[in-house]
Amino acid sequence: MSVDLEHEPIHDLARRVIRLAEETQHAAQVLERRLDALERRSEAAGRAERILSIAAGMRTHLGQDRLSVEDLYDPDTGLPA
């Protein structure tokens, strides 16, 4: 049985588990989907971390109180200034 996973150590581990447990192709596909989900979650966490880092840098350069809601909207009309 062949399991096409991206990372070689995980590929070997998955093949060993499947062979020892006499699992089916379905089990291999479940393992692959689980790996994909974990990798996506890791990528999403990395993106969130980068976004927060960029936001922190922007606060440093712009200052916390440089723009406020009052600066963005006309007080008489409530429309963007």
Written as tens digits, the pLDDT of the chain (81 aa) is 455 546 788 888 888 877 777 767 777 788 888 888 888 888 888 899 999 998 888 877 776 656 677 778 888 888 887
Identify the pLDDT of residue 67.
Answer: 67
In order, the DSSP letters of 36-72 are: HHHHHHHHHHHHHHHHHHHHHHHHHHH-TTSS-HHHH
Identify the pLDDT of residue 35.
Answer: 86
Q: Which residue has tokens 């974990």?
A: 38
Identify the pLDDT of residue 23.
Answer: 62
| Residues 6 or more apart in contact with residue 55 via CB below 8 angstroms | none
